[in-house]
Amino acid sequence: MLVTTRFTDLDSIQTKDQVVAYAAFRSEFIFDNSVTHGLNDIEGARFKASFEQYDCPGQSNKNFGKLTVDARYYQRIHRGLTFASRASFGAFLGSAKKNFLLGGMDNWLFNSSSRNGANNPLKLALFYNNSDLLFVRYITNMRGFVYNTQYGSNFFLLNEELRWPIIRYFYRGAISSNFLKNLQLVAFTDIGSAWSGLNPFNSSNNINTQVVYQAPFTATVRNYINPLLIGYGGGIRTLILGYYVKFDVGWGILNFKVQSPKYYLTFGYDF
């Protein structure tokens, strides 16, 4: 396939558009032996690995690839009570690595994002070509944190959920109300990190390195903070007006300190 990006500087009509064209391909491997018993009620295993490569003819310094792996297992415990696990990993490769943005949940209403850091991929500034926004990928669920709390060319994420269909667990008869039939309580823990460099614990990666500019000097500061984001909390899910609605409350642990709770109103199933 052919992919192109175009950057137009609206503040200068004399500046030519910057256009980059890529020849790209994508390959996937999927394994799925899961069984769906109802909305957000799954049993079994799922696995997906994908690889994408983008090559810019004549400009090899713009080439990059993306590898992602996602494995999920749903263990039914008793009468619909299910323990759901997901482990995922990703890495951008090549000369022009892009970024994964870790934090938040999919389809989060009233969301917020972090824009801290000199090299933040969500940076907006005059004359700054931010075409890479087309290739960044949001990594969720990382509850207890806002979007883009951490970013980097690599990530890993572990999600654990205990899902309890409270009405169906105690009542075995027919339930006519979609609200009650799909009512589900959830307890969760999320652990993850996004970084650029050898590994998240390396002292020279972007998590532990901060560049401070104070003309005419530039200083590099090593922070040596804990690179792991940890979130925990609970939530409720059900069907409302034909939409599967989720409400979660998550507390994040950042550098060994518990943060103020974050509230998530979202749409969608599973993780």
Cβ atoms within 10 Å, residue 152:
24
120 lies in a domain?
yes
Measure the CA–CA gap between 270 and 59, rounded to whole angstroms: 41
Confidence (pLDDT) at 98: 95
Residue 62, helix vs strand vs coil: helix
pLDDT of the chain along its 271 residues, tens only? Answer: 899 888 887 777 777 888 899 999 999 999 999 999 989 999 999 999 999 999 999 888 999 999 999 999 999 999 999 999 999 999 999 999 999 999 999 999 999 999 877 788 988 776 778 888 899 999 999 999 999 999 999 999 999 999 999 999 999 888 899 999 999 999 999 999 999 988 887 766 666 666 666 666 666 666 677 899 999 999 999 999 999 999 999 999 999 999 999 999 999 998 8
Given this model, what pLDDT does residue 209 score? Answer: 65
Tokens of 210: 């901060």
How confident is the model at residue 203, as a pLDDT?
65
Contact between residue 212 and residue 128 where contact means Cβ atoms under 8 Å apart? no
Sign of CA dihedral 151, 154, 160, 163: positive
pTM score = 0.88
- CA separation, residue 61 to residues 96, 136, 258 (Å): 6, 18, 41
Cα separation, 249 vs 137, in Å, equals 23
Q: Does residue 93 fall inside a structural domain?
A: yes
Confidence (pLDDT) at 212: 61
Residue closest to 143 by CA, chosen among 106, 90, 196, 183? 106
Confirm whether 144 is domain-assigned: yes
Strand, coil or helix: what is 176? coil
58 phi-psi bin (left φ>0, alpha ψ -120 to 50, beta other): left
pLDDT in the model for residue 165: 96
Q: Look at residue 210 and tell me if it is in a domain.
A: no
* Alpha carbons 150 and 166: distance in angstroms, whole number: 35
CATH code assigned at 31: 2.40.160.50
Domain containing residue 231 = 25-195+225-267
Report the number of distinct structural domains present in the chain.
Answer: 1
Does 162 reside within a domain? yes
Q: Which of 211, 227, 9 is nearest to 119 (CA)?
A: 211
In a domain, 215, yes or no: no
**Residue 19 domain-assigned (yes or no):** no
Asked whether residue 8 is domain-assigned, the answer is no
Q: Which residues contact 112 (CB under 8 A, 6 or more apart)?
A: 146, 147
